[in-house]
Structures are given as C-alpha cells and as structure tokens.
C-alpha cells in the first residue's frame, strides 16, 4: 500500500479522511490554505506543510479535497504543486468538479509523467469519520488498483470508467440526492399543511416503496428543523449547475435537474446558502407561508 500520502484541503471532509489515514499508519503530509485547519492533524502524526508543493514533495499519492474545479486547477498548476510532484506519483482528486475539468487535469498531469484519478465521494462527514464513503473512481484501471488499499481505509470504491467518469457518477449521485431532498420536503410539508403529523408520516412510510436514506436522514432533520450544515445548500447548487453544464456539453436535456437548480438558487438568495441542503425544506415552507 502507498504509505506516503499528501492531503491537500483539510476541511469538513479532508480532516476526518486524513485522520483515518494517519491512524492507519500512513505518513501524511497535510496542507490547507488556512494552516490552522491542517495543524489539527498534528496530534495524529501528520506533518503540516506551508505550501502544497512542499506537501507533495515526497508523496507517492496526492489526495486533493478542494472546493471546486477552479481551486483544484489553481492548487495543482498555479501554486507550483505540479513541479513538486515526484515522477510516477498519483494524484487522486476527491473533490467534486466537472468531468471536463477532470479530463483536462489528467491530460496536463500525464504530460509531466504524473498519474491521475478523479475519485469524488458520497457519504458526508459521517461517512468520512466512519470510513464508509462511497468512492467513484475514473481513470486507468492500473492506477485504481494501485491506490485501492488506500481507498479501503476510507470506504468502498468502484472503478466506473475512464478519466471524468468518477465525476459523472458523482453528478448522478448529487442529482438524485438534490431532487429527492425536494421530494421529501414537499411531501412532508403537504402533510403538515393538511393537518397530519410530519414525524408520524415519515414513520408510517418508512420501510415502504418511498423509503430512502434521504427520507431517514434528511427527513428527520426536517421534522426536527435541524439544518446545521453538513452539506451546504451552496454546494448542492454547485453540483446541480455542474450537472447541467455537463448535460449541455453532451447534448442531454435534464429538465428535472434544471427545475431543482432554480429552487436551490432561490433558497440561496433567501439566506439559506450556508445551511444544510435539507434546508430546501425552509424555502418550500416559505413559498407556502409555513415558516
């Protein structure tokens, strides 16, 4: 198993994932734009670097967990990271970006003898802490096999196709999540408006054909009105827009995703951008005078 691992981006997902790597005995070098976030890993044995180039200098595998494709491009190609990579190193981009961007990054890295996988994840901070993430990987099969022992420390990984395919799978995941959140919120609000107990309705339909993890987890958040950020409205909106951009590139019509992109955008405009994406419930409640 590759044991010298650099992690670039120590945020809500990067911290628990990097901590798991440290606890498994990997030599972890960490970098974050705000150094204090990376320093939280020092008690677990990580080395904190001042620059991403320093972080990757000795790494066999470089994991990026950054905000969006523009940030990934900046960190990899504008901050000296690519020049600092060892020949034959493997960059595993676990950020959620557009498939087109993933393919472009892979090509640029390959021109310098560096390997690449796009491997976004699903499962949130709970999955990151427990090592139960769903990992969707695109790239060369040999690179996937090479890093599979690392993936197994973080969750369950599936190689879904060539470069960019991992990001396509993540977009599919986020389309389903975002749309289902809206369906659960609208259905529960209708029940409340009609005089039923939302919590009891959620309980009644659990185990039936409408059951889902969204109903269980996000539905409970709606019942409790607990919209503390785990995955933000703003991030969900970014993912819906990435899905629509990709659909446009391949000539695919996605009207349902388009409708929900508008709903999440309006939620953000009404001050909900930094709440959990289940807070789409609040936007739908507002439309119905139920706040």
> Annotated catalytic sites, by residue?
170
The pair of structure tokens assigned to 245 is 């951009």
**Residue corresponding to tokens 């999955």:** 127
Residue 214 and residue 277 in contact, taking contact as beta carbons nearer than 8 Å: no
The DSSP annotation for the chain comes to: ---EEEEE--STTHHHHHHHHHHTT-EEEEE-SSHHHHHTTGGGTPEEPSSHHHHHTT-SEEEE--SSHHHHHIIIIISSHHHHSPTT-EEEE-S---HHHHHHHHHHHHTTT-EEEE--EESHHHHHHHT-EEEEEEE-HHHHHHHHHHHHHHEEEEEEESTTHHHHHHHHHHHHHHHHHHHHHHHHHHHHHHT--HHHHHHHHTTSTT--HIIIIIHHHHHHT----SSBHHHHHHHHHHHHHHHHHHT---HHHHHHHHHHHHHIIIIITTSBGGGHHHHHHHHTT--
Q: Are strands 90-93 and 115-118 parallel, antiparallel or unpaired?
A: parallel
Distance of CA 146 to the CA centre of its chain: 22
Residue 93 and residue 117 in contact, taking contact as beta carbons nearer than 8 Å: yes
223/140 Cα distance (integer angstroms): 44
């Amino acid at each position: 198993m590759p044991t010298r691992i650099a992690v670039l981006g120590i945020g809500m997902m990067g911290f628990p994932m990097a901590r798991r790597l440290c606890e498994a005995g990997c030599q972890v070098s960490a970098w974050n734009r705000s150094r204090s976030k990376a320093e939280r890993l020092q008690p677990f044995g990580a080395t904190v670097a001042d620059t991403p180039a320093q972080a990757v200098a000795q790494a066999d595998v470089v994991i990026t967990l950054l905000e969006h494709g523009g940030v990934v491009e900046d960190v990899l190609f504008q901050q000296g990271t690519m020049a600092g990579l060892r020949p034959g190193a493997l960059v595993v981009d676990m950020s959620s970006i557009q498939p087109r961007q993933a393919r472009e990054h892979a090509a640029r890295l390959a021109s310098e003898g560096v390997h690449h996988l796009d491997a976004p994840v699903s499962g949130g901070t709970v999955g990151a802490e427990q090592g139960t993430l769903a990992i969707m990987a695109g790239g060369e099969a040999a690179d996937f096999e090479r890093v599979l022992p690392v993936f197994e420390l973080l969750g369950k990984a599936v190689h879904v196709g060539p470069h960019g395919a991992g990001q396509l799978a993540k977009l599919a995941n986020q389309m389903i999540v975002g749309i289902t959140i809206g369906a659960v919120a609208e259905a529960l609000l209708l029940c409340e408006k009609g005089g039923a107990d939302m919590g009891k309705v959620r309980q009644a339909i659990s185990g039936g054909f409408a059951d889902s993890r969204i109903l269980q987890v996000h539905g409970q958040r709606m019942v409790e009105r607990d919209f503390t950020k785990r995955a933000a409205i703003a991030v969900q909106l970014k993912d819906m827009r990435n899905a629509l951009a990709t659909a446009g590139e391949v000539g695919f019509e996605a009207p349902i995703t388009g409708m929900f992109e508008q709903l999440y955008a309006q939620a953000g405009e009404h001050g909900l951008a930094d709440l959990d994406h289940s807070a789409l419930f609040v936007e739908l409640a507002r439309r119905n005078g139920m706040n």
